[in-house]
A and B are shown apart, each in its own frame.
Chain A
């Protein structure tokens, strides 16, 4: 664990500018792959993780739900921990809705687990 260090994941450059799909079979840049290969390891290793939404072509709700809601549903991380560790950021006004939607998906996944 890297204490006090913030890991920055820029989806458009670190993963793909064209994220889409939910499962691995859906396509190369799907939500499951992003969660398993990028998000979950970073959350385990670092105190804080900043995910930057800027620069992508857009997000389908399947991608966001699987990548971020899946952290609670599949990886077993608590919503409180995520609220503490995970920062979602964007400077693009059009993507601000997607940030809000992602937070909503995490809350819904936590509610469903209870």
Chain B
């Protein structure tokens, strides 16, 4: 065998040392990982006699309009925890929340509902430890939305005390299209507070049931583990401001991913989106009249029914779809002129949230 040169011997020595360091680092990493699995992190809270593996802290401002990324960061942490197979306890911290919007509340309620229902978490139900330390308005609004029913805790009757008079409606959920759910929401939860009733009830019914149909047909087409293929429906209303918001959320794959791939070129050519982002794809889904089913008689619901409701009413109205990183808004102001806008976020919403908002006064 040929004797290695000095240069080669030096290279071998360096390479061996580097390999040894990498191996050592990997062993240390595995050791650390195992330790983290069995023991709480140093910053993990201890309440009573229970050590929690982590604390999931929801931000002070829990509104999608003002702090989308902050809400999503906490939500993704909660999702990572709920998907983990290890049997460990997490502390979900709501104490810091000072303001919460109905959209953010519904998204979090849906995630807690999923956490309560997925197979490997069924034995470890959620418990409330410190609701008395939560902000009063936040607690009352969450209670109105049905949070404490999810947590199997009775907290007394909801009384909005912040002076704004905003009430949150108990959420409903199902994995099928349920027309009675939107009728009950309208007749039992909204119309008793509005003497002139919710306008154009037939179109509202069409919008919401068609959005539910889209969830059932498209949102959960690639079912993975731990998926709860449901929609969650809720609303909020403010009688003083004459404002009604109806919200439908699903945790599916998102509208941008349900658009048929063969239309990507069409979208690029027709809309002149060189590199379409999620908001552009949501916008395109409303314009194209196409469905991932690739059948001509399908794929019309978003345009003809879901968005059509806010177009059909004679008041200020907003229709907003947030799906993955994108958001598409159609709104009609006091001048009656329609406006469309698109926005992309750094973090993704898991699923799709549709909001119909009316200002009746």
Contact = CB atoms under 8 A, between A and B. Distances in A.
B8 interface: no
Contact of B202 (A25, A28, A57): A57
A108 B304 CA distance: 15
Interface stretch (B145-153, B203-211, B260-268, B343-351): B203-211
A112 to B, nearest CB: 6
Contacts of B182: 57
Contact of A109 (B200, B202, B205, B297): B297
Given A19-B179, A22-B217, A60 B210 contact: yes
B180 A18 contact: yes
A60 B206 contact: yes
Nearest to B205: A58
Interface in A82-96: 92, 94-95
A57 B201 contact: yes
B179 A57 contact: yes
Contacts of B235: none
A112 B213 CA distance: 23
A20 B202 contact: no
B297 A25 contact: no
Given A26-B176, A30-B177, A61-B304, A20 B212 contact: yes
Contacts of A62: 210, 213, 298, 301
A34 interface: no
Nearest to B296: A112
Interface in B172-190: 176-180, 182-183
B179 A20 contact: yes
Nearest to B200: A94
A60 B214 CA distance: 11
Contacts of A73: 297
Interface string B151-180: 000000000000000000000000011111
B297 A20 contact: no
B305 interface: yes
Contact of B216 (A25, A61, A101, A109): A25
A61 B183 contact: no
B300 interface: yes
A19 B180 CA distance: 9
Contacts of A59: 202, 205-206
Interface string B250-291: 000000000000000000000000000000000000000000
Contacts of A58: 179, 201-206, 209
Contacts of A29: 179
Nearest to A28: B176
Nearest to B210: A60
A16 to B, nearest CB: 8
A45 to B, nearest CB: 26
Nearest first, the 10 A-B pairs at minimum CB distance are: A58-B205, A18-B179, A21-B177, A20-B179, A58-B202, A20-B209, A27-B177, A60-B210, A27-B176, A60-B209
Given A20-B212, A60-B213, 6 more contacts: A18-B178, A20-B178, A26-B177, A58-B202, A60-B205, A112-B297
Interface of A: 16-23, 25-30, 57-63, 65, 69, 73, 92, 94-95, 98, 101, 105, 108-109, 112
